[in-house]
Structures are given as C-alpha cells and as structure tokens.
A and B are shown apart, each in its own frame.
Chain A
C-alpha cells in the first residue's frame, strides 16, 4: 500500500467534538451460575475509529469543499490520511525547565525575528531507538526534551502500511535518553532503528465507514452540520 494521495483537511472541517477509539471485539460465554462472566478477546488489539462530530459548514466554499470530499472519498473506497488534531493533549517540550509552548520561544539570545514574533511552534523530535518486530507492544524511543507519561498518541510512517496511529500505554525512562514505552495497538509493521515517530501531528490511514457518512443536509440553502466516521484502513 502506498501513502494515500489526500490528507483530510481537519483545519477546514473543524469538528466540535471528536472521538478516537480503538475498537475491538470481545466474546463472552454468558453469565455462569455464579453470575461471573468469562470473556475472550479475539481481535489482537483492535483498530482505530475516529468520529468527528458537528462539523459546521457555513460558507459556500466550505460546502463545496465538503461535496468535493464526498466524491474524493468515494464512500470508503479511497483511503485518506487523517491527522489527529489534538494539540492541547500533545506532550510538552520542556527546554531548560520552561515549557516551550507555541509562540513563546525566542532565539537563544532572547531576540525574536525581525517582525517581533518568536518561533511559532516547538516540534517534538522523536525516533525509534531499537528495531521492533511486527506486532510488538514495547518500543524504545528517543524523544528530546519531552517526558512521556502515557496517553500520548504518535504515528509511524511504515514503508508498506504507511501512517499508523499508536497510543502510549506506559512509559519508563531506561536511561541514556531512551524511553521504553508500551503501546496499543500492536505495531502494524516491523520498525527499524532510527525511524521517526510523529508526535506533533499523529495521523493514520483511514477510510470513511460507508457512503452514508458524507451527504449533508443543507439548512436554508446556506449552511450545514456534518458528521463523519473514519475507520482504520487495511
């Protein structure tokens, strides 16, 4: 599989709420005499589902763009790269004890650019430290100026499976600047040492659930509220 041609324009279609979940299947054997229920998971880790709710489409341009996207995605036949727009929950970059938020970092001599603006954002630089096998759930990564605590998302651009999203489950500093994390879902493809891990804008190759997702109801000929559900594409 090659990387899809299109990236979902989350900046243009901003949802009021979004839900990113790992969906899987558990089977149970029914309640026993004692009421206890046994369960078995057969999904081996689950797949990503992103629900983007209440996307306001107010201008004619937005409505036309949405209609174009409806036919670009072809009811789920065309995969698309969906960026997880979740900047507030991104891990902090701490440089010299100061949280380097966007628009707060000047040059090292405290000077700004000539238009008086400081650096606009502080990207997180992370890479895989040791190779890991397909379906591994433990990964050693080197991540500069960031302390991972669990709950962070990142993606890896795999050679075959393209962008895949992962969530940090636990994180442990094992020294030497290396953080050992456990993650879900299990790695979709083996990774080599030195592959970058994308913490800034984690993304995943997805497709829309079906053709019913995209059509919009236009209110008073001029505006609409849209919802869309994406599934991880295989």
Chain B
C-alpha cells in the first residue's frame, strides 16, 4: 500500500521525524526507541533517529508564499540531550543556518514503515534559546530552536508580492503575473449554506 493510501485511512499510525543538519546531525522522532532510516534525497546519509521523548512540540507549519518572513519555534526537552545542549551552549554559530527538516512516515498495522519518507517542511535554524520555568513546584527545562525561512534574516522591506506591478518593476516587459489579479486571496467561502 502506498503512503498516500495509508494517510487516507481513518486511523493512521505515523512517525514525525525532525532533523537538524548541524555537524554532527541531530535526528529525533516522535515515537519510542531508535528508528534507523536509510538515506534519501533530503537526509543523504541516513541514520538513527532517537526516540526518547525529546520532541516536545512542533508548531503549525505554514507553507511560505509571497516571501513571508515567518518564524517557527520547535520545543525540545533540554534534559538528557547532551549533544544538543552542547550545540546550544558552545556552538550556536554552527546551528544558525543549518537546515531543519520535518518528515512524516506512515506505519502499517505491524508498525512497519510504508513507502518512503514524506518530507513536508524545510527551514533554516536561527536562534537556540534555553528556557527554564517553574510549573507548580517543578522545574521544566526546554530548548527552543527557532527556524525561519530564507527571508527571515532580511533587512529590506518585503518586495515579494507576486503582483503584476511588482513583477513589472523587476522586469518591465514580463507578463508572468499579468492575470494574478483575477485570483482572490483570503476569500471565505461559507459552508454549508442552508
């Protein structure tokens, strides 16, 4: 069965994989225990993804259009992650600019992967912050890795609306965005309409 068919079922078993392309690579996944993955086009070396409850939260990921400088914060448990903590502490420059990839891999009824990894998102790691807060009488340590898109570090104003005017400012005789105005954006369709 293909990965698409597995996602289309109503009960899906799924692993969320998170990779930070620093040296050494950091590979985490949402499940329990180690997960060995073969090399593919994104993770060209392949390797063992560690599952020991490190991945605390993955934010809602947007696909970036119109050159939006969005920023996403990944929460990672900051206890027992020696390699990551070293990265955050001493080697922050190494983290900045490293690619972060999020992948999904569906499992079949015997918890075996179906098809190849579906890499759904790629971003660029930016700042690593360590956070220690008190909840009740318990201290919770998390590490937040902030990831941005290509445009996050930009100092110039946005110049990236795919409108006819902007395209012609870039290239006067280019009619590529000629018909963009015919599209509607942010239009709410009410459903159902009784």
Contact = CB atoms under 8 A, between A and B. Distances in A.
Contacts of A182: 110
Interface string A35-73: 010111111111100000000000000000000000000
B101 interface: no
A46 B11 CA distance: 16
A189 B32 CA distance: 12
Contact of A40 (B11, B33, B110): B11
Interface stretch (B13-21, B88-96, B146-154, B170-178): B13-21
A135 B30 contact: no
Given A135-B111, A135-B112, A44 B29 contact: yes
A38 B11 CA distance: 6
A184 B110 CA distance: 9
A9 to B, nearest CB: 27
A20 B39 CA distance: 37
Given A44-B107, A234-B52, A234-B53, A137 B30 contact: no
A188 interface: yes
A44 B31 contact: yes
Given A135-B112, A137-B111, A234-B52, A185 B12 contact: no
Nearest to B13: A41
A151 interface: no
A7 to B, nearest CB: 22
Given A43-B30, A44-B30, A44-B111, A135 B12 contact: no
Interface in B102-116: 107, 110-112
A42 B34 contact: no
A44 B36 CA distance: 13
B11 A44 contact: no
A44 B110 contact: no
A106 interface: no
Nearest to B11: A39
A138 B33 contact: no
A183 to B, nearest CB: 10
B33 A185 contact: yes
A42 B53 CA distance: 12
A28 to B, nearest CB: 10
A137 B32 contact: no
A70 B54 CA distance: 26
B183 to A, nearest CB: 29
B127 to A, nearest CB: 27
27 contacts: A24-B32, A36-B10, A38-B10, A39-B11, A40-B12, A40-B13, A41-B12, A41-B14, A42-B14, A42-B16, A42-B31, A43-B32, A44-B13, A44-B29, A44-B30, A44-B31, A44-B51, A44-B107, A45-B31, A45-B32, A134-B35, A135-B34, A137-B112, A182-B110, A185-B33, A232-B32, A234-B53
